[in-house]
Structure 1
Amino acid sequence: MIKRVVLRVCILIFSAACVEQKSEDLRIAVSANMQFTIDDLVAAFKERTGIRCQVIIGSSGKLTAQIKEGAPYDIFVSADTSYPDQLFKEGYTMSAPKIYGYGKLVVWSRLDSTIPLIPLLTSQQVHHIAIANPKLAPYGKASVEVLKKMKVYDDIREKLVFGESILQTNQFVISGAAEVGFTSKSVVLSNKVKDIGSWVAVDQRDYKPIAQALVVIKHEGDQYKKAERFQEFFFTNTAKTILEKSGYTINSEE
């Protein structure tokens, strides 16, 4: 009950702040794996349309909860399909979610990059392994899936530290609070962190495909029309090029 009250207070504060934004600004709720990629996408969208965007980063689960509580977001760019599909089925969106790409999981470390993955995770050099909260973040769920598939989950369970999202997981690795972290390939390819440590891609056969989708939240008038334009932009060649450069696999059917 207390958590719900705190969440509603936060949403009211955020809503008040949004009043100060110009009406043409789109409020885009974005899953944390896209924290760097979204900047390039928003810049390209603004160049094409002149529409400015306000980006709110968080875990897909937390952003979904905020939307249900009335957070004034126009677009939700999720790290999976289940959260936007849930919003669609419960009547919070204008249409069904659309898959824009598939994310890839990597292990990021500041230790010797030549150590094979399993020996690295079980090494005495590693005291903390950062992953996103699997209850809120699809990449965290995939990380647990990988650890169990490799049969090391029980051995390294005590080393796990959970970030609220991939964003916090990244901060654990960057700060050195965790020697190793599971994150999105889009993060380690970004200019902001590509020179920090080293990374290895996780075998995609060890986790279910991370299909990522976006959806337009129910609104009326011009704001909805502009949100639709942003959704359409996500499937242009310009956006696809940005996504592929950031390490996402694009759905060839789109």
Structure 2
Amino acid sequence: MRSVKEVLSLGVLYLGCALWLSSCGKADTDRILTIAGAANMQFALEEISEAFTAQTGIPSRMVTGSSGKLTAQITEGAPYDILISADVKYPDKLYREGYTLGPPRVYAFGKLVLWTTGEGVDPVLSALSRDEIRYIAIANPKTAPYGRAALEVLQHNNLDSLLQEKLVFGESIGQVNQFIRSGSAEIGFTAMSVVSAPQFENMGRCVALDSVQYTPIEQGVVVIRQKDSEGDNALLFRDFLFSATARGILKKYGYTTNE
């Protein structure tokens, strides 16, 4: 027969085990997930984040910018939990340098468009050399994947040197969109996901560019390694990005995905 002390000790042990087992696989809904997202993903990511929170109860906040700048901030210690990039180059760099919990995964393929909000401006490549177009907005090719893609299109059509004096560089697609919307640039290269957003779908005109003229815009995601966290919430969000719900949202914003 066990003593009262032994019975109580066993009870505490069983209770501890039960509590530990019940916590396994559950998200930490008290911790806010910080998502670093490429500017082209701003609107789609807002919807995806809302759907994720509704399903898991995990709150999140988003920081947007060029993929290159966000990557630099991560290497400098920015407390981001996950990077949703506009390419795989920067996520792969972070992986190779030991900043992530695993290699990058491609969650979507982006599309490049020419967009204008100016009256009488044709959003076609042949119009870019016309006198009425003084400024052409493009994201910085050094840090923004959509800027690199735009430069490849200009080079493919032998327009890069001809239009060099007209190019106005934005830090990210977000700034490019500001240039175009405000009329500071008569036309510009941006992401299909932007002009597909409800806020902009009836604003101006756009034309999708031939995808064979630029390197496929593979958009990658990585979970950032944190000293004070195992990254469970970020891993859950990463997996949710490949769910049917998230894929449906991505397609609505003009992305293509691997089924």
Common fold by TM > 0.5: yes
Q: 2:217 aligns with which of 210, 214, 236?
A: 210
In structure 2, the residue matched to 1:47 is 54
Aligned counterparts of 1:54 and 1:116: Cα–Cα separation in 2: 35
Aligned length: 231
Cα distance, 1:112–1:150 mapped onto 2, change above 3 Å: farther
Any idea what SS the aligned residue of 2:218 has?
strand
1:234-245 correspondence to structure 2 within 5 Å: 234-245=241-252
Residue of structure 2 equivalent to 1:30: 37
Percentage identity across paired residues of the two chains: 48
In the alignment, does 2:80 pair up with 1:73?
Answer: yes
State how 1:22-171 maps to structure 2 within 5 Å.
23-111=30-118, 115=122, 117-171=124-178
Larger Cα Rg: Structure 1 or Structure 2? 2
Could you give the per-residue CA deviations for residues 93-145 of structure 1, whole angstroms, max 9, x where no partner exists?
A: 00001100100000001245784723311111100000000000000000000
Q: Under a length normalisation based on structure 2, what TM-score does the superposition of the two structures give? A: 0.86
The answer to whether structure 1 residue 230 and structure 2 residue 234 are counterparts is no
Distance verdict in 2 for CA 1:154–1:215, change over 3 Å: same
Contact 2:114 2:123 in 1 (8 A): no
Asked if 1:175 is matched to 2:199, the reply is: no
CA distance in 1, matches of 2:199, 2:141: 25
The whole-number CA distance in structure 1 between the counterparts of 2:229 and 2:120 is 50
The C-alpha deviation readout for 1:212-246, integer Å capped at 9, x for no partner, is 01000002566611111000100100000000111
CA contact (8 A) 2:40 2:191 kept: yes
Amino acid at match of 1:228: L
Q: Which residue of 2 aligns with 1:3?
A: none
Over 3 Å counting, the alpha-carbon distance change for 1:114 and 1:130 in structure 2 is: closer
* 1:196 maps to 2:203: yes
1:14 is matched with which residue? none
Q: Which runs of 4+ in 1 moved over 3 A?
A: 111-116, 220-223
Is the CA contact (8 Å cut-off) linking 1:113 and 1:198 kept in structure 2?
Answer: no
Q: Letter of the aligned partner of 1:167 in structure 2?
A: G
Q: Is the 8 A contact 1:26 1:223 kept in 2?
A: no
1:154-180 per-residue CA deviation (whole Å, 9 max, x = no partner) reads: 111100000000000000001110000
The answer to which of 51-60 and 222-231 deviates more is 222-231
Gaps of 5+ in 2: 1-28
Whether the 8 Å CA contact 2:80–2:224 is kept in 1: the answer is yes
8 Å contact from structure 1 (residues 186, 248) kept in 2: yes
Task: Provide the rounded CA distance (Å) in 2 between the counterparts of 1:88 and 1:222.
Answer: 18
In structure 1, stretches of 5+ residues that fail to align are: 1-21
Does the 8 A contact of 2:121 with 2:186 survive in 1? no
Amino acid of the residue matched to residue 150 of structure 1?
N
- AA at the equivalent of 2:111: K
TM-score (norm 1): 0.88
Instruction: Look up the SS of the partner of 1:106 in the other structure.
Output: strand
